[in-house]
Amino acid sequence: MAIQSKFPPLELLKSTHSFPGSYTFKVIGEHQNSFPERVVEAALRGAGEKIQPRHTVRETDSGKHIAVTLEVRVENAESVIRIYEELVKLQGAILVL
């Protein structure tokens, strides 16, 4: 299954967000293999910093999928793109927003 991702172009990020600042990411994936922890690790790799992003986890009623919402403090629009690039690589990820 191909992952669906929708992240904004760099120029749009620069024109619509203030940096440095907080940015929210949402990743939906299969509920297995420590998915929430792997999402956080991917965000940290993308950010290139030793920060702990705030995150929440919500499981579907069936328990088959899980949604992880991250709030990450980013320094610039390029950091947002790097985080998205790491998130779409995650095994078990279905949708990255």
Average pLDDT, the chain: 89
Question: Per the CATH hierarchy, to which homologous superfamily does domain 4-96 belong?
Answer: ACT domain (3.30.70.260)
**In the predicted model, is pLDDT for residue 86 greater than 60?**
yes
Question: Going edge to edge, which strands form the sheet with 54-59?
Answer: 4-5, 93-96, 21-30, 65-74, 54-59
Between the alpha carbon of residue 15 and those of residues 12, 19, 75, 81, 85, the distances in Å are: 5, 10, 15, 14, 20
**In the predicted model, is pLDDT for residue 15 greater than 70?**
yes
Which among 1, 2, 66 has a CA at the least distance from the CA of 38? 66
Q: What is the pLDDT of residue 26?
A: 95
